[in-house]
């Protein structure tokens, strides 16, 4: 393999791109929002269940973001 040409002034070798790993938290969060709004129209039980799913998903997603940040530092 040949080395990339870095002789041009102001050009840098690109760093490897790091993508976050896949997670289910965004899908669960959207389910919680859907249940919450559907429950407002239909039943308080569905509203409470949607609120619980929403809260757990939000806490899980934020926790995963914080954990991933600590790994990359």
Structure tokens at 64: 């995963």
Give the residue with greater pLDDT, 7 vs 62. 62
For the chain, the domains span: 25-72
pLDDT of the residue at 6: 54
Interacting residues of 72 by C-beta distance below 8 A, sequence separation 6+: 18
Q: Could you write out the three-class secondary structure of 57-71?
A: HHHHHHHHHHHHHHH
More confident residue, 65 or 8: 65
Task: State pLDDT tens for residues 1-56.
Answer: 566 555 667 777 777 777 778 899 999 999 999 999 999 999 999 999 999 999 99
Give the pLDDT of residue 33: 97
**What pLDDT, on a 0 to 100 scale, did the predictor assign at position 54?**
97
Report the pLDDT value the prediction gives residue 1, as an integer from 0 to 100: 56
């Amino acid at each position: 393999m040949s080395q990339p040409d870095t002789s041009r002034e102001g050009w840098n070798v690109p760093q490897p791109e790091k993508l976050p790993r896949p997670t289910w938290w965004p899908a669960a969060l959207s389910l919680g929002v859907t249940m919450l709004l559907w429950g407002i129209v239909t039943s308080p039980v569905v509203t409470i269940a949607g609120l619980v799913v929403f809260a757990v998903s939000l806490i899980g997603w934020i926790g995963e973001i914080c954990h991933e940040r600590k790994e990359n530092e």
